[in-house]
Amino acid sequence: MSTITENLQAVAEAIGAATAEARRPRDSVRLLAVSKTFGPEAVIEAARAGQRAFGENYVQEGIDKIATVNAALPDASLEWHFIGPIQSNKTRPIAEHFDWVHTVEREKIAQRLAEQRPAAREPLNVCLQVNISGEASKSGVAPGQVAALARVVAGLPQLRLRGLMAIPEPTEDFAAQRAAFAALRALYDELCAQGFVLDTLSMGMSADLRAAIIEGATIVRVGSAIFGARHYNKGQA
């Protein structure tokens, strides 16, 4: 059994333990394998072990990987998620090649993605990135502006608003982890109460997966615990 396969099983067990603790169905949480900086061979190995959803942070790396992996596994029905910061000049390739985008934080970006999504493809699944911890260095829309952005995105053609995403300030304190995720869940519940039809809370990574699942995560984003330590190219980190 390969290391990646073993790691996927370990992550699945951690998700299973957390969902059981939260008294949630195991299938209420999906694993997004964050494959940024790892080559297509690692994705192919994970896909052959049953993993279907992969997350990429860098546009060109992601597009090249999608082409290589899809050619190697044409019948795998893989799902590709863009989870990195979005520059205005990179919206077209994202709209053309990815199935999901987790990092929409501005109306301009949403409008460009909608305009540039090919008509022949299904609507692009979108999560709004929220700066839930209020960090000056962190991307994301402020919590107080989420509803306004959600109204814009929900009205755009070729986009499907699915929910919210956040990367809270890192902490090893379990109660603090839960508090940040609970705040995002409260925003999500407010949007649902306002009539938005949502189904996705993209929150939690290797270090805070348990807290995220207990607070309602439906997608957890895990990379190094599956693929190993990352080695960044110059300019990528």
Task: State the pLDDT at residue 136.
Answer: 77
Spatial contact of 121 and 92, defined as CB atoms under 8 Å apart: no
Task: State the pLDDT at residue 231.
Answer: 66
> pTM of the entire structure?
0.95
How many whole angstroms separate alpha carbon 117 and alpha carbon 208? 33
Task: State the pLDDT at residue 235.
Answer: 47
**Model confidence pLDDT, tens digit, residues 124-136:** 999 999 999 888 7
Question: Could you confirm whether domain 3-227 is CATH 3.20.20.10?
Answer: yes
Task: State the pLDDT at residue 63.
Answer: 98
CB atoms within 10 A of CB 133: 19
Task: State the pLDDT at residue 147.
Answer: 98
**Model confidence pLDDT, tens digit, residues 181-224:** 999 999 999 999 999 999 999 999 999 999 999 999 999 999 99
Amino acid at 99: D
Provide the residue ranges of all domains of the chain, joining segments of one domain with +.
3-227
How many whole angstroms separate alpha carbon 182 and alpha carbon 237? 29
Task: State the pLDDT at residue 232.
Answer: 61
Spatial contact of 97 and 63, defined as CB atoms under 8 Å apart: yes
How many whole angstroms separate alpha carbon 48 and alpha carbon 78? 11
Instruction: Please provide residue 165's backbone torsions phi and psi, each rounded to the nearest 5 degrees.
Output: -135, 150
* Positions in the chain short of pLDDT 70: 1, 231-237
Task: State the pLDDT at residue 230.
Answer: 73
3-state SS assignment for residue 179? helix
Spatial contact of 183 and 148, defined as CB atoms under 8 Å apart: no
Tell the residue number behind the tokens 């992601």, with chain if given: 62
Instruction: State both tokens at 125.
Output: 């699944």
